[in-house]
Structure 1
Amino acid sequence: MQNIAIIGGGHAGAQAAASLRADGFDGRLVLVSAENELPYHRPPLSKAFIKGEDDATQELRPALFYEKNGVELLLGRTVEAIDRDAGRLVLDDGELPFDGLVLATGARVRVPPVPGINMANVFLLRTVDDARRLKQRLAEAHDVVVVGGGFIGLELAATARILGKTVTVLEAAPRLMGRVVAPAISAYFLDLHRTLGATVRLETPVASLVGENGAVVAVEAASGERIPADTVIVGVGVVPNIEIAEAAGLHVANGIVVDEAMRTSDPRIVAAGDAVSFHHWALGRPVRLESVQNAVDQAKTASATLLGKAQPYRAVPWFWSDQGDAKLQMVGLSMDADSSVPRGDPASGSFSVFHYQGDRLVAIDSVNRATDHMLGRRWLAAGFSPPREAVADESVDLKTVMPKV
């Protein structure tokens, strides 16, 4: 293998470049990114970046890293097609040969089909350019409406409140972050955001955005009520970027479908990150995960596979969200849990919810309780499930319950 190309300059693409060199690939290595920036940390965009004075990104690796490791960066360039027969990428301004390819195409923000969504002062957040525009706007904003009570929406709602803005969060579902966390966690963050001074309305779908002279002035709920807004932030999920893979004839289904070693339906092509659909060993069905951890770990697996060192992907998934002074950490996947055990008192601002399927621990949601989270990562990796009675009893030191091997 002489030429490996990487499509995408996010966490997965940058990690793939680093891993390929670390694993011994010494051929030509080219990373193509539509963004003009060196690959950067994305999580701070909704928090520290918006609040800070500096508009620079937090680079994942400095420019010198790519130079010293012989990674060619084609920034501000797009891949228009994958020509599998010829083994080349068709770029917006040329061609690039490959005999190995990493798809790290990521995802884009979901744009709901709401009238007025394209008006001025309506913002989506995915890239640093999005964040720069939103930061500039928030300096002048007064009435901010956040559409969506998921991670990004709530992080931005907390940031806007810290900046002194009037904030209203509109969530169509009965609770915040309802698809991913336990009801007790949802309730805690509802109280948190209201304590911060935000208005949070559940079961309030949006019907339209109301404008004057091309700029939004209000958000109209399905009930007909109008909430004043000079700035609207939309955070209702993301859509995987699968179009280029699909056009190339690769198997796609809610993501680019890969096997347990991250191979696509073409063994010369691997994929990693938010755009990937893979069969999860614990759930027993395909999933697509959107997290830094998953992107990085899948990129490591994909890189090894390209170099003939394939191993099954078995990384334990974990996620986090910082909202105000609360740190939410999740490990494992709780969607198939049939019971839960609380540990700690939500009123204290530090507690966890342990999720079980039968007697098997499958996930832990933690608020300001890093020890539980780190133990969960170790336990789930080892296949260990702590007894429910030990979890429920705070007098038990959970660090002692796992037998030493």
Structure 2
Amino acid sequence: MLIEPRIRGFICTTAHSTGCTANVLEQIRYVQNQPSIPSGPKKVLLIGASAGYGLASRIVTAFCAQAQTIGVFAGHAAEGKRTASAGWYNTAAFEQAAHQAGLYAKSMHGNAFSDEIKQKTIALIKQDWGEEVVDCVIYSLASSRRTHPKTGALFNAVLKPIEQPYSGKTIDVMRGHLLDVRIEPATAKEIEDTVMVMGGEDWAMWIDALLEANVLAEGIQTVAYSYIGPKLTESIYTKGTIGQAKKHLAETSKILTKRLSPIGGQAFISVNKALVTQASAAIPVVSIYISLIYKIMKEKKLHEACIEQMYRLCSDRLYRKDRQVLVDAQGCIRMDDWEMQADVQQAVTDIWPKLNNENIDALTDMAGYTREFYKLFGFKVEGVDYDQPCAVDVAIPSLAMQQS
């Protein structure tokens, strides 16, 4: 059937299977044209594997390091005339391409926060791979809510400032212009909830479960993805509720490194570049900053999308030939190094006060931002004829479990 994008707020409620497939294959072609990563991991568990950095990580480790991968993801299958989620179509496309290349790839569908999915994933690892085998765990889970597996309590994350209200601008993706927004400060409960959803507790629960099950290999490396950003966005990000969650994530990495030390393991935070994601599209000021940084970094030949960023992470930081992981003074892998260059940030500082609806198209890469937003859901992908019908009900070849 013919599928059109339906935008509701900062989310698209439809997805285009042909476009999602083309987007995945484009990323695979990119990494296939890069040097291989022979020192890369061989058995990779990805928690949050169906979009953005998680999907890109799966593509890089599979097609550049020839790794076997198990990806845990949520999303939903098609139902009636309702399309599946983009993550569903992405996963189906990845698995099909991986299998055609002779690579092991299976996917676990369900609530990654639950004990059930953790145990089902461990059972799959033991069944297919055995014990002491997982040499890389990538935690790239993005969610706005979490039900605690032990207490049953429901936590809802919010993107709010702390102590002071925030007044600023955001992007209306549908109309391509700026909107004024005002966000009241978070309550103590909202801050706590956001940390419980986006912080490091679930990452630690995964590692603890994998350790207890004896499926982690000697020298295991686990990585969670984060963001810091410039002073310009700190009131809504670094000093906001999400910043508190990311702080907890960083603290968790240090705790996990101690827990993994008996088997020579390490836990890292990779601070990545600002990119268009479903999460970033919902954060006021950050969305405008991204459209501006895209223009500046493209002009300076420094721009990276998810796949380029994750290839550089694996080839130049995590799995270098000399086996040395490059980190900063706080022990973080800084993949935002090009974004935070002095000349790039100076350009942002110079342009930012001038932005308005009359000049935003000229001073930022609003067109690129909007195109990347639509591509998240399989729309506006180059080479796809959207006047042709596409499949809605698409099967994932090796779906290990389906849970609503």
TM range (shorter): 0.3 to 0.5
- Could you say which structure has the higher strand fraction? 1
Structure 2 length-normalised TM:
0.37
Structure possessing the higher radius of gyration over alpha carbons:
1
- Could you say which structure has the higher helix fraction? 2
Structure 1 length-normalised TM:
0.37
> Highest relative contact order (Cα 8 Å, sep 6+), 1 or 2?
2
